[in-house]
Structure 1
């Protein structure tokens, strides 16, 4: 998998997985352009599924498409295994099933998430799905080790370069480590941090993320008022092209095999920031 997805991908939580039929052509065109721009993977955010990935795979020929994440509470394991098999057969192994436990505020049946994830992986195994075709959204040490032992690797969301290094140490060298990194293509510090805080606000209300920040050296003060400069600067890349490139490289140097880049521009969550993707491809060279 590492060889096929390269170092850089695009994470998109809205436009590429929207279901409005009127936008189907634009989504397909955007996916094809991402492939032409040289990105190795498209990661579909939110509670995405194989159904969201299928049209993008049909519109492209090389780029990998993964869910980031498919919530274990929303899809029966047997159905997930069957959908995976269909897409992988139809598209030369280009579909990756990214799984996660979502959040208590977003999943009505949320309970004992680690145990539920283990049981879900057991069910996938029983349905014949290969561990090498799935990855886990792993934040805490136990889930990282689970990703190491029972999947192709980890696709953590909203982590720092320092936590990337810790994740690599727990994973070992072989599994994929593909963290998400938010990018604000803005060099003015006040403007960049305002855009970042506006976007970060949602996640500061979700204990899975705030507990992870506290576990990794941040304080309660860092979580106040939309996030401290220290927190914002750790989980966003912003600034000049050189500075953004250096932040992406920092994650690679920390042990990431691939960085899933999310453009944050202040636009609606279900938009397609295609100009931002072009700028990002250009600065990454």
Structure 2
């Protein structure tokens, strides 16, 4: 496969923690799911959580065109030289099929967490020195300085847990060239109370992470919006829920705001699970995108 990241990931992808497990005995099951997602027309698979090229390899080997990216590979958990070497090995075998998505993760998950922006800059320096191409990496960029890095030192941005309004502001800051591929959570439930309850239960773990809550406050939400699992206003801004027409309209809002690609995460429980692959839901979602 040739072409830059923006040309190869297509309009829609799937974001999932379930597509990698660290358990080789599940590789066949995950590969089968990846083949099905490719057949459904998705352009990219985003491996949620602290994933790596090793996790992407079985999915790439089983498929023929779909791009697989990490969302994210933590800069604290993987040395830059090792990340560059793993990238080179996989890209040599399957050119253009793997995208290295990077981020600073959260203090809660990394004991060495400090000065994250400076650490990210140093990490990119080390990747450059090791020969990892900037046009094959993406940054999970929320704040203005990191968005600038995504524009200047990567192929673009893969922000997590952002609104359509923030997507528009990110597009303006990135400019037209770089890829902007926000993640968007989807609940296939039309009853408002049930949909928001499911969404709120899942969002709770993210509202304990300052990187996200600070970003919400920076983008116009209030402390009241963050209380008690999130206000309806917050839930409705970061989720697509409802019938097929409403969900499609919410996804289209992100495209209209400047997203080149939307990474869709199907939410089906209060916590992500590495064991459950929501294949029926992925199929339903694909049908409303065509």
Aligned to 1:54: 57
Residue 6 in structure 1 maps to residue 10 in structure 2: yes
Distance 1:18 1:38 in 2: 23
> 5 Å matches for 1:15-164?
15-164=18-167
Q: CA–CA distance in 2 between the matches of 1:40 and 1:65? A: 9
TM-score, normalised by the number of residues in structure 2? 0.97
- Count residues in correspondence: 284
Partner of 1:266: 269
- Give the deviation of 1:269 after TM superposition: 1.8
Cα deviation, 1:215-252, whole Å, max 9, x if unaligned, reads 00000000011000000000000001000000000000
Q: Structure 1: how far apart are the matches of 2:129 and 2:99? A: 18
Q: Distance in 2 between matches of 1:252 and 1:234?
A: 15
- Residue number among 186, 189, 202 corresponding to 1:186 in the alignment: 189
Q: Is the 8 A contact 1:87 1:93 kept in 2?
A: no
For residue 245 of structure 2, what is the aligned residue in structure 1? Answer: 242
Deviations 1:136-194 (A, max 9, x none): 00000000001000000000000000000000000000000000000000000011001
2-side partners of 1:283 and 1:18: how far apart?
A: 28
Give secondary structure in 1 for the equivalent of 2:229. coil
Work out whether residues 159 and 180 of structure 1, in 8 Å CA contact, stay in contact via their aligned partners in 2: yes
Q: How far off is 1:59 after superposition? A: 0.9
CA distance in 2, matches of 1:123, 1:24: 31
Deviation string for 1:107-129 (max 9, x for gaps)? 11101000000000000000011
Q: Distance in 2 between matches of 1:55 and 1:243?
A: 35
**Cα drift, residue 22 of structure 1:** 3.1
Check conservation: 1:144, 1:167, Cα contact below 8 A. Answer: yes
1:219 maps onto 2:222 in alignment: yes
2:158 counterpart of 1:168: no
Q: Could you tell me which runs of 5 or more consecutive residues in structure 1 were left unpaired when the two chains were aligned.
A: none
Could you tell me whether the CA contact under 8 Å between 1:67 and 1:96 is conserved in 2?
yes
CA contact (8 A) 1:81 1:124 kept: yes
Aligned counterpart, 1:279: 284
- What SS does structure 2 have at the residue aligned with 1:17? coil
TM superposition shift of 1:25 = 1.4
Extract unaligned runs of 5+ from structure 2: none
State which drifts further: 253-262 or 266-275: 266-275
